[in-house]
Amino acid sequence: MRKILVANRGEIACRIFRTLHKLGIQSVAVYSDADRDAPHVVMAHEAVHIGRAPSSESYLNQEKIIQAAVRSGAEGIHPGYGFLSENAQFAQAVQDAGLVFIGPSPHSIRVMGSKLEAKAAVKKYSIPMVPGTDEAIGDVGEAISIAREIGFPVLIKASAGGGGKGMRIVQHEREFEESLKRAMSEAESAFGDPSVFIEKYIASPRHIEIQILGDQHGNYVHFFERECSVQRRHQKVIEEAPSAILTPELREKMGADAIKVAKSCAYFSTGTVEFLMDEHMRYYFLEMNTRLQVEHPVTELITGVDLVELQIHVAEGKRLPFGQEDVRMNGHAIELRVYAEDPHENFMPSIGKLVKYERPEGEGIRVDDGFDEGMDIPIYYDPMISKLISYGPDRYAAITKMIEAIRRYHIRGPKTTLPFGKFVMESPAFIQGDFDTHFVEKYWTAFAEEKIPADVLRGAALLSGKLMEAHRSKLKQ
C-alpha cells in the first residue's frame, strides 16, 4: 500500500503515522471540529475534516471516513483502537469499498466481539475457561442453580460488554434475581444486546494477556505476555512485559493456547488473547481483543518488533516474515497510562487546558502522546493524555526509570495519574510482584484518602528502597 488513512485521533493516530512515515507510505488523517489543530492532523501528509466534535458525528461516522479514504486515494484504513476498530460492519464496508481494512476479517471481529460466541468458538480447543454458563441466561431458576453450583460470589457479565463495563458481582443468592434483571436491562441499553451469562468470580486474579500475530495463510506467532493487573474500574492503568510471575513453561503453554484461540476464528492481524490467573497459577481464557491494544508498546520494547508495521504487512496478504523461534524477549518494559483524571477523587476525569506540558526524554523512555502545551483536552473523547513507557535490562531498572520519567514529566492544568504511577512504582507489593487486580482498592484508596499515618508511609518508602536493593543484588549474583 502506498497511502493509508488512519480512522482515529490522539496518540494512537500519531503512533501509526510514525510507522507509515518510516515505511515511506503516504498518510491521511481525519479530524473533527475539536481536533483542528491536533498533532495527528499536523503529522499526516493530508487531513480530511469529517464532522462535529461528538464521536457519533465524526470518528464513528463510517460513511464519511470511507468517503475520505476513497477521495484521497488511500488504499487502506487503519482503525487504531476504540472507535470503529472492533466494528465488523465497518470492516466489511471498508472491503466493499475496495479498500484494505488493516485488521482482522469481519468474521473474526464478530465472533470475538461477543463473549458468548467466543466461548463457543474456543470450546473445542480445550482451552481452560472460567467456570460458568456458556449460553445466555434464559431461565432464572436454572441460572440460580448453576450459580449455587459454581459458588457465590459470581459475576454476571454482558456478552456484548467491553471497556470494563457490563459486569456485576453477586455476593449472595438472595441478590441474584434482582441483579440479573438489572444486568440484562443495563446490557440492553448500553450495548443493544440483553444477553448475559455467569462466571465464577475469581477472588484474587491477575490479568495476563498474550500478543499474537497471524497472516492470511494460517501462520501464527506470539510475542509473549503482558501483565495488566493494575486496574481501576476493571480498566487497565499500568501494564508490563514480561509478567513478574510467569515461568518459561507457563509462558509457552499460554502462548500456544492463545494461538489456538486465534485459530478458532481463523484470525489474522495483531490480536490479544486475555487470560485471568488465580492464586494457584491456574489460568482461564477471558476474551480476545481483535485490534492493536493500547498497551502494545511494552511488547514492542521487549521484542524489538514494530507491531503496526507487521499489521500492515499481513493486511497486504504477505506471509509472516519470521517464525516463533525467531521471536526473542529482551529486558523489561512498563507502561503507565497518563489519564487526565484525579486519582485522589476516585479517578474522575479532570479535563482542561494543558497549561504546562513537558515530556521526559532519554534512553529507555518512550512517550506516546497526541497533545502539545496549550491544548485543551476535549471532553468528547477518552481522557488519556499519553502513555509513558520505560524500558531497562531488568524489571527493577524499568521501575527505576519509570520513577525518574514521572519526576521529569511536567503537566500543569488537569490532574493526572502520574502521582498514582509513582505510588505504584514505589510500593513494596508492586516491587515484589505480589499484587492482583485489586491493587487500587487494597493499597491506593487508603493512601489517597490519607488514612495511612505518615510514619507508616516513611516505613514503606524505606522498605521499597531496601527491596529494590535486595532484588538488584540478587539479580547480579
- Residue 156 found at the interface with ligand ADP (CB under 6 A): no
Binding of residue 437 to ligand ADP (CB under 6 A): yes
By CB under 6 A, name the one of 199, 227, 239, 295 that touches ligand ADP. Answer: 199
Binding track over 211-240 against ligand ADP, x by CB under 6 A = --------------------x--x------
Of the residues 202, 254, 389, 468, which one makes contact with ligand ADP according to CB under 6 A: 202
Out of 104, 106, 161, 428, point to the residue binding ligand ADP (CB under 6 A). Answer: 161
Compare residues 180 and 411 and give the one whose CB is closer to ligand ADP. 180
- In whole angstroms, give the CA distance from residue 147 to residue 150: 5
Calpha distance 309→306 (Å, rounded): 5
Q: Does 71 bind ligand ADP (CB under 6 A)?
A: no
Asked if 187 interacts with ligand ADP (CB under 6 A), we say no
**Which string of b and e fits 441-462 if b means at least 16 CB within 10 Å?**
eebbeebbeeeeeeeeeeebee
Taking Cα atoms as reference points, which of 158, 106, 111 lies closest to residue 261?
A: 111
Q: In the numeric block, which cell numbers belong to residue 362?
A: 532519554
Cα–Cα dist 334/472, whole Å: 17
* 308 counts as binding ligand ADP under rule CB under 6 A: no
Does position 86 bind ligand ADP by CB under 6 A? no
CB of 382 to ligand ADP, least distance (A): 14
**Span interacting with ligand ADP, options 93-101, 174-182, 194-202, 391-399, rule CB under 6 A:** 194-202
Question: Smaller CB distance to ligand ADP: residue 54 or 153?
Answer: 153
CB of 273 to ligand ADP, least distance (A): 11
Q: Does 130 bind ligand ADP (CB under 6 A)?
A: yes
| Residues that are catalytic | 291
Hey, what's the cell of 34? 475539536
Helices within 157-206 (DSSP H only): 176-191
* φ, ψ dihedrals at 222, nearest 5°: -120, 155
Is residue 131 part of the contact set for ligand ADP (CB under 6 A)? Answer: no
Long-range own/partner contacts, residues 363-366 (CB < 8 A, 24 or more apart): 364/390, 364/391, 364/392, 364/397, 364/398, 364/401, 365/389, 365/390, 365/391, 365/401, 365/405, 366/297, 366/301, 366/390, 366/391
User: Is there a cis peptide before residue 242, judged by omega within 30 degrees of 0?
Assistant: yes
**The binder of ligand ADP chosen from 186, 215, 227, 274 (CB under 6 A):** 274
Please identify which residue in 4, 30, 286, 310 interacts with ligand ADP, judged by CB under 6 A: 286
Minimum Å gap between C-beta 406 and ligand ADP is 24
Asked if 163 touches ligand ADP (CB under 6 A), the answer is: yes
Chain-centre distance for alpha carbon 269: 16
**Interface with ligand ADP, residue 162, by CB under 6 A:** yes
Taken as a whole, the chain contains a residue count of 477
Closer residue to ligand ADP, CB minimum distance, 120 or 463: 120
Considering beta carbons, is residue 205 or 413 the nearer one to ligand ADP? 205
Element (H, E) at 288: strand 283-289
Q: Is 244 helix (H, G, I), strand (E, B) or coil?
A: coil
Q: Tell me how far, at minimum, the Cβ of 386 lies from ligand ADP, in Å.
A: 21
* Rounded Cα–Cα distance for residues 227 and 229 (Å): 6
Positions in the binding site for ligand ADP (CB under 6 A): 130, 155, 161-165, 199-202, 205, 207, 231, 234, 274, 276, 286-287, 437
